[in-house]
Structure 1
């Protein structure tokens, strides 16, 4: 007996269902510092707002050494850099996302000598970048490498990109098309490199943006800990970076400068943001009588050429601006947490402050948004969760043990939170 021939329309329907089914099961990834779009916004749902060392704890695994880099995730792999407390060795670890099981650990560098470091920093603070098949790790002057995530072999490594950090490295890399963007801005040299991500070769390099201006400040104020951002303006990509003294836009293909804004005297840490046609940049500490006093936040119209300090700064503020953590913008609301715990909600379009609240503790981690809530973790592992709405609305307060300075990753209904000794996966407990 002959089998019936299925109608063409029915076969096409089955193929479409298979396609959409496969599309739905593609896992969410977290590829850079503050997420795959470097904006601190997670697309995840069903993220827990309450946890402890025993509640909603999927797993907790020890991490050798110390590092304030954030975890990055692609498919089932979680990657983190770590290093010896004294900088004797520099390593990277790979864990299984579901179980926390150690998949691989690679020691990459063992330098003959190391530079001094600020007591609040670590030798593994820059966050890796990851994509399908490859992870890119960076330890500042000690080395930058690409690792094949399928066979765990080092594809390329460079130890010739150097500077005097003075207080340690903190700039994370970002991927842009075929390039890996690397900031190495120290007291001696201030360089930005665009490396061929496949080979590690330098495609372009820019140095100190204004030699005379830099000579007029002490070396300690010439460095930067900046992680840049790519934006698009009038159909053209711009690489935005908060360098020491200047916020600068470059053509990411060539390194050619588009515009610059002069703003301050000390080292920038907080990342740039982009909202509704405005670039929001942090000045780092502005000095008063030679001592760090406050940081400024400037909103810049990125349509311009050359020095646009006097023409394109739309608004600015120095009230409770964080110097270390990066604010997060949700819809038309901007939330920023100052180091000493002052939380501010403001309008990113004009700088209008809606409210301020005081949170407990000292903050280095950047806030992350997920599933209608914003997560603020202080250095003692206390996380305050609020609603991402116009009025301040507290949802929960949580506590883990240890020291916390790494910005969390939030994806697939889980929070990956790193302390000085452990990596936690926080997720709503599944009913058995």
Structure 2
């Protein structure tokens, strides 16, 4: 697509989005305006919207290094961010192993050719990661009609023009000691870009004007960690205050809420202003999983490390202050993952433990209905598309599951070098990022 075509398409997208925002609200606008614009897709829940005519999109079921691969592009470094897809572009973050250089990478969706490989930030002394599951480029980007937003936690946040790759604005003045590296991805709401900054020293959310990068609101967590000694010293090494989770949005009684799990508590904020509305407390910390929602009636929240629990939290107009005792409907603690996010399909919650135990749980009651074993270790979050579940293992297998009945494994597809990043889905293609390459997987005629 040439420059004139790119601009025309962008203008048409902007016009279409404006119509949909007025008629249907922000969720519908996201579905219409992008293919896979952010971590966990257009709805932020790992699902790809069904076609209006009810027919399947045609996503592949089987592939390998030699079968159904449209292209394979090397992206070296150490970065686990999910690719973000819009129009003819695929964007992702990248970083060197030592974190001293941080990049934004853009691939051509049709060919896999590198359109941009941009060095955005250089760091003289980045804090060591000190764990095997994180990277300096784990925060996934998000896209709107004009810009892509790249985030590396406190190391830097930037908005880039999607056409030219030029920096529109950047911020490097948002402090947070990530300790084991940043992990929370950015999300868009209205005219703001929302960042989650949960470190060992400070914990807060901040909304930036997506056009200028200026701060619109900033809200500190009000968590009582209970770890301060009488002399003011904090017990432990800091993990008990950290979180890596990406928030989600849900509308309750006409108010759009930003639901954000953190260490020791999950909060509901007014998305427009950042005002704290409610919280649910728990013992978990270092949360990585995003929340998901069931028909606006229930929030599904993972409490993180320290024995992960999955909580079903009732959503209604009575949510105010600490609602732990009044609104937690159920609590499941068997075979719950510490890293990957849940999926919700037809009123059922699907979670895959770190060691590959897949559970189907009734979303309203918390009853465990079915359990099946998958092979491998799982850090990436799965996706739901064309009536199937897709789970990516650290060993490089994508396991395709029929969620109904006995949760049968339909196929196991191997790619070299293993997965840490969650997949992206677009049209009838899947974009899979291993530790060293990005693939476009699509059924070939």
TM-score w.r.t. length of structure 1: 0.90
211 and 344 in structure 1: CA distance in 2 versus 1, 3 angstrom threshold? closer
Alignment partner, residue 283 of structure 1: 303
Deviations 1:11-70 (A, max 9, x none): xxxxxxxx9xxx9xx886110101011011113610001000000111001013221000
Query: Which runs of at least 4 in structure 1 moved beyond 4 Å after TM superposition?
Result: none
1: CA distance, partners of 2:435 / 2:224: 38
Alignment partner, residue 395 of structure 2: 380
Are the equivalent residues in 2 in contact too, given 1:43–1:411 (CA < 8 A)? no
CA offset at residue 265 of structure 1? 3.8
Pairing 1:15-414 to 2, within 5 Å after superposition = 29-43=35-49, 45-117=57-129, 118-211=131-224, 213=226, 215=228, 218=236, 219-276=238-295, 277-286=297-306, 294-303=307-316, 304-414=319-429
214 and 131 in structure 1: CA distance in 2 versus 1, 3 angstrom threshold? farther
Query: Which blocks of at least 5 consecutive residues in structure 1 are unaligned?
Result: 1-18, 287-293
2: CA distance, partners of 1:27 / 1:46: 21
Deviations 1:292-332 (A, max 9, x none): xx200111113310111111111111011111100111112
2: CA distance, partners of 1:333 / 1:413: 25
Deviations 1:246-279 (A, max 9, x none): 0110011111111111011421111111103001
280 and 384 in structure 1: CA distance in 2 versus 1, 3 angstrom threshold? same
Structure 2 residue matching 1:42: 3-state secondary structure? coil
Are the equivalent residues in 1 in contact too, given 2:380–2:393 (CA < 8 A)? yes
Are the equivalent residues in 2 in contact too, given 1:27–1:412 (CA < 8 A)? no
CA offset at residue 285 of structure 1? 1.7
1: CA distance, partners of 2:173 / 2:76: 26
CA offset at residue 211 of structure 1? 4.6
Structure 2 residue matching 1:285: 3-state secondary structure? coil
Structure 1 residue matching 2:325: 3-state secondary structure? coil
TM-score w.r.t. length of structure 2: 0.87
2: CA distance, partners of 1:42 / 1:322: 22
Structure 1 residue matching 2:178: 3-state secondary structure? coil
2: CA distance, partners of 1:168 / 1:418: 20
Query: Which blocks of at least 5 consecutive residues in structure 2 are unaligned?
Result: 1-15, 21-31, 51-56, 230-234
CA offset at residue 410 of structure 1? 1.3
324 and 212 in structure 1: CA distance in 2 versus 1, 3 angstrom threshold? closer
1: CA distance, partners of 2:274 / 2:94: 30
Q: CA RMSD in A?
A: 1.6
Deviations 1:109-143 (A, max 9, x none): 01121011023211100000101110001011110
CA offset at residue 215 of structure 1? 3.2
